[in-house]
Chains A and B, each alone.
Chain A
Amino acid sequence: MSTETLRAWLDERIGLQYLIELARKKDVPLHRHTIWYYFGGMTLFLFVVQVVTGILLLLYYRPSAENAFESVQFIMTDVEFGWLIRSIHSWSANLMIATLMIHMFSAYFLKAYRRPRELTWMSGVLLLGLALAFGFSGYLLPWNKLAFFATKVGTDIAGDLPVIGPFLLRFLRGGDDVTGATLTRFFGFHVAILPALTTFVLALHLLLVQKHGMSVPPSLTSHNLPRMKFFPNFFLRDLIGWILAVGVLAALAALFPWQLGEKADPFAPAPAGIKPEWYFLFMFQTLKLLPGRILFIEGEVIGILAFVIGGIVWLLVPFLDRPEENSRRTRWFTFAGIVLVIYIATMTIVGYLS
Chain B
Amino acid sequence: MNTDIHRQRGFSCADCHGGDPATDDPTESMNPRKGFIARPAPKDVPAFCGRCHSSADLMKKFNPALRVDQEREYFTSVHGKRLRAGDTKVATCIACHGAHGVRKINDPLSPVYPLNVAETCASCHAKADYMAGYRIAHDQYDKYKRSVHARMLYEQQDLSAPTCNDCHGNHGATPPGVTSVANVCGQCHTRQSSLFQNSPHKAAFDALQLAECTQCHGNHDVLSPRDDMLGVTPPAVCITCHREGDRGYQIAEKMRQRIEELKRRLHEATEILDRAERAGMEVSRAKFELNETRDALTHARVLVHSFSLDELESVIGPGLQQADRVYRAGQAALAELSFRRKGLGVSLFFILFLALLVYLKIRDLEGR
Which residues in A have some Cβ–Cβ distance to B below 8 Å? 73, 76-77, 83-84, 232-233, 236-237, 239-240, 243-244, 246-247, 250-251, 254-257, 259-260, 262
Which residues in B have some Cβ–Cβ distance to A below 8 Å? 280-282, 284-285, 340-341, 343-344, 347-348, 351-352, 354-355, 358-359, 361-362, 365-366
Provide 30 A-B residue pairs closer than 8 Å at the C-beta atoms, listed in order of the A residue: A73-B285, A76-B282, A77-B285, A84-B340, A233-B362, A233-B366, A236-B365, A237-B362, A239-B358, A240-B355, A240-B359, A243-B351, A243-B355, A244-B351, A246-B351, A247-B348, A247-B352, A247-B355, A250-B344, A250-B347, A250-B348, A250-B351, A255-B280, A255-B344, A257-B280, A257-B282, A259-B280, A260-B282, A260-B284, A262-B284
CB pair A251 B348 closer than 8 Å: yes
Residues in chain A near residue B365, CB distance under 8 A: 232-233, 236
CB pair B340 A254 closer than 8 Å: yes
Asked whether A73 and B282 contact (CB < 8 A) given A236-B362, A240-B358, the answer is yes
Can you name 10 extra interface pairs (CB under 8 A) apart from A246-B351, A247-B348? A77-B282, A233-B362, A236-B358, A237-B362, A243-B354, A247-B355, A254-B340, A255-B280, A259-B280, A260-B282
Minimum distance in angstroms from B183 CB to a CB of chain A: 40
Minimum distance in angstroms from A160 CB to a CB of chain B: 35
Minimum distance in angstroms from A237 CB to a CB of chain B: 7
Cα of A243 to Cα of B353 in the assembled complex, Å: 10
CB pair A257 B281 closer than 8 Å: yes
Cα of A274 to Cα of B351 in the assembled complex, Å: 38
Residues in chain A near residue B361, CB distance under 8 A: 236
Cα of A239 to Cα of B348 in the assembled complex, Å: 16
* A250 closest partner in B (C-beta): B347
* A260 closest partner in B (C-beta): B282
Residues in chain B near residue A257, CB distance under 8 A: 280-282
Residues in chain A near residue B355, CB distance under 8 A: 240, 243-244, 247
Residues in chain A near residue B351, CB distance under 8 A: 243-244, 246-247, 250
Minimum distance in angstroms from B320 CB to a CB of chain A: 24
* A238 closest partner in B (C-beta): B358
Minimum distance in angstroms from A4 CB to a CB of chain B: 24
Minimum distance in angstroms from B261 CB to a CB of chain A: 29
* B347 closest partner in A (C-beta): A250
Minimum distance in angstroms from A161 CB to a CB of chain B: 38
Asked whether A254 and B282 contact (CB < 8 A) given A236-B365, A247-B348, A247-B351, the answer is no
Residues in chain B near residue A255, CB distance under 8 A: 280, 341, 344
- The residue that B358 contacts in the complex, of A76, A243, A250, with Cβ under 8 A, is A243
Residues in chain B near residue A76, CB distance under 8 A: 282
Minimum distance in angstroms from A169 CB to a CB of chain B: 32
Minimum distance in angstroms from A15 CB to a CB of chain B: 27
Residues in chain A near residue B352, CB distance under 8 A: 247
